[in-house]
Structure 1
Amino acid sequence: MLDWLYSIVAQLIVWIHTGLSSVGIDKDSGWAWGGSIILLTVLLRLLLVPLFVKQIHASRKMQELNPKVQALRKKYKNDKQRLNQEVMKLYQENGANPLSGCLPILVQMPVFIGLFQVLKRISDAKPGEGVFAVTPDLVSSAQKANIFGAHIPDTFLNAFGADPKSWSAIVITGIAVVISSCTTFFTVRASMKRQPVTDENNPMMQAQKMMVFLAPLFGLFGLGFPLGVLMYWVTSNSWTLVQQHYIYSKYPPLGANGEPAAGTATGKGGKAAPAPTGIKAKLKKDADPVPEPEDKPKAVRNQPTRKPRSKRSGTPKR
């Protein structure tokens, strides 16, 4: 059913592999096939930059609306249905979409699944058999290509269960699983640290905190992923970490009250941050109007009250 998707991913890998082979890299080496996967990942992430910008913009919009959402939670705490209606109405009126943050992940998943299936079928292919857009000769080349003794289609479970065991494949795929798990953990953790603390009892907040601790467990699934898929996973997570650090260093997250966090409004040395351009300008939210200074109260001069003559002269009043 998804053969068309697998064919597209396979064709992209073949094109990139051909390009790397034309610049002097041995077409049968693991570096040519591994480089094809890495470049495919970089190409995809470059195409996703506009979606990431939109994701950050949507996230800041949600943070700006957070105080109003909290007010609605208090107002309709005993009426969940009315609360959901009012919150969705608030989002619609302000052009906020809670699902915008999921766009980059949704776009990456088909490529991840497609790459997994292509590499798995290359690993299981018989001599003289082609896989989608990969010719039989290229399938044979990919099966024999290795990086430090580990083949691109190798998985940790297959390498560990082989007889005789290939310890180089076990070590390389094991290291790739550990790195992929760590990068997944730090990616989720970095995203969580930049979210404002709102309502501790909010189920979504609790689920996000749980994701931080469950992220390393995703590495267990990596034990069955081919080395090429792990390379894609590590490259994508590393790109995300660098991208998040750059964007959020320029545009720090808002606080729980919807305002910039303390100590982030100025640049280095206490100077005002320079005006953003290009992508930065897209992320910059509209500045809040500066309130006009209130009129200073007029100074009231206290006039001395006229005292009775008796008090001025010091003589007792008759």
Structure 2
Amino acid sequence: MDLYALPPVAALLDGAHRTLMGLAGLLEPFIGVSSAAAAIVLVTLLVRAVLIPVGVSQAKADRTRARLSPRLAELRRRHGKDPERLRHETMALYAAEGASPFAGCLPMLAQAPVLGVIYALFILPTIAGHPNVLLEQQLGGVPLGSSLAGSIAAGTLDPASLAVFLVVIASIALVGEVTRRVFGLAQERSTDAASPSPLATPVARRLVGVMQFITAVIAVFVPLAAALYLLVTVVWTLGQRVLLRRAFPPESA
């Protein structure tokens, strides 16, 4: 069964297609052939602006987790050999504090449908029965529907296209490294203070560091349009986290 052919999905994609093409048409007199790429950037910024309250909730949850870190470490020390008891006591502690251990997942979960729509818009040759003209749009001469991995596999990658892909993907990786340095080291200090937290182990720290670059790896395989969405998202996320960390500094235990 073709999920994209289902009437509700097809109608959603058709509306998103018309919206992006409409924005691109408005921007074209000012930006030219890259107007569709600019429209994606604008849509991404609008989505992230709508999600600001979710980011604030996440920042508050991070502050609460930092304050609870010593108590969580104590629970792990006492109930580490009884996972079910540990889970129960941990959830009870969060419930008593009016917090959730899963709050950090909300921004990405909220964005997933938008990213899925953008991904579909740049892989489907037809949408709701009409040709997908978004596939003809470009950024720096590179079709927004192409990917680095796909271009390499098809043997169509040229130096100019490679440069565009590398700029986008390397920028995502760079932002990931900055995020790791700014927030990973702070997490290290907080988990060190709350030993024996699992996050304080060298293996866990290396894993957290690698996780920062998964978005860059994903950008290798998705269409350039989706990679552009990811780039704007990680830049916004870093800036928002810096501002919210200042507005909601970690609480003391």
Give the TM interval when normalised to the shorter protein. Answer: 0.7 to 0.9
Corresponding residue for residue 41 of structure 2: 38
- In the alignment, is the contact (CA less than 8 A) between 1:153 and 1:228 conserved in 2? yes
Q: Distance in 2 between matches of 1:165 and 1:20?
A: 26
Correspondence 1:216-255 to 2 at 5 A: 216=213, 218-254=215-251
Number of residue pairs matched?
A: 244
Amino acid at match of 2:167: I
Equivalence for 1:156 = 148
Task: Report the alpha carbon displacement of residue 46 of structure 1 after superposing the two structures with TM.
Answer: 0.8
Match of 1:119 among 107, 122, 127: 122
Instruction: Show structure 1 runs of 5+ residues with no match.
Output: 260-318
2:87 aligned residue (84, 90, 97) = 84
Q: Shift of residue 99 of structure 1?
A: 0.9
Task: For residue 65 of structure 1, give the secondary structure of its aligned residue in structure 2.
Answer: helix
Cα distance in 2 for residues equivalent to 1:6 and 1:189: 42
Can you list the C-alpha shifts for 1:65-117, whole angstroms capped at 9, x where unaligned? 22322333334455443333222222222212111121111111222222112
1:223 aligned counterpart, secondary structure: helix
Amino acid at match of 1:241: L
Aligned to 1:184: 176
Q: 1:210 aligns with which of 207, 211, 219?
A: 207
What is the CA-CA distance between 1:31 and the residue it aligns to?
1.9
Q: Matches of 1:99 and 1:247 in 2, distance apart? A: 18
Q: Secondary structure at the match of 1:235?
A: helix
For residues 183 and 123 of structure 2, the distance between their equivalents in structure 1, rounded to whole angstroms, comes to 31
Preserved contact between residue 180 and residue 233 of structure 1 (Cα < 8 Å): yes
Match in the other structure for 1:143: 135
1:152 deviation in Å?
A: 1.1
Partner of 2:16: 12
Deviations 1:201-237 (A, max 9, x none): 4335554641213433553332222111111010001
Mapping 1:296-311, distance limit 5 Å? none
3-state SS of 1:25 partner: helix
- SS at 2:221 equivalent: coil
Higher relative contact order (CA 8 A, sep 6+): 2
Question: What residue number does 1:52 align with?
Answer: 55
Q: Distance in 2 between matches of 1:9 and 1:194?
A: 41
Partners of 2:215 and 2:230 within 8 A in 1 = no
What is the alpha-carbon distance in structure 2 between the residues aligned to residue 209 and residue 201 of structure 1? 17
CA-to-aligned-CA distance 1:44-80 (integer Å, 9 cap, x gap): 1011111111111122122222232233333445544
Structure 2 counterpart of 1:131, which letter? I
Higher helix share: 2
Residue in 2 that maps onto 1:298: none
* TM-score of the two chains, using structure 1 as the length reference: 0.66
* CA deviation vs aligned residue, 1:149-199 (integer Å, no higher than 9, x gap): 211112113333445643322221122222222223433543433432244
1:97 alignment counterpart: 100
Change (3 A) 1:80 1:193: same
Unpaired stretches in structure 2, ≥5 consecutive residues: none
1:244 Cα offset (Å): 1.2
Q: CA deviation at 1:13?
A: 4.7
Which residue identity does 2:166 align to in structure 1? G
Preserved contact between residue 137 and residue 144 of structure 2 (Cα < 8 Å): yes
Say whether the 8 Å CA contact 1:154–1:173 is kept in structure 2: no
Contact preservation (8 Å) 1:13, 1:36: no
Q: Residues 81 and 244 (structure 1 numbering): CA distance in 2 closer, same or farther, change over 3 Å? A: same
Q: Is the 8 A contact 1:174 1:223 kept in 2?
A: no
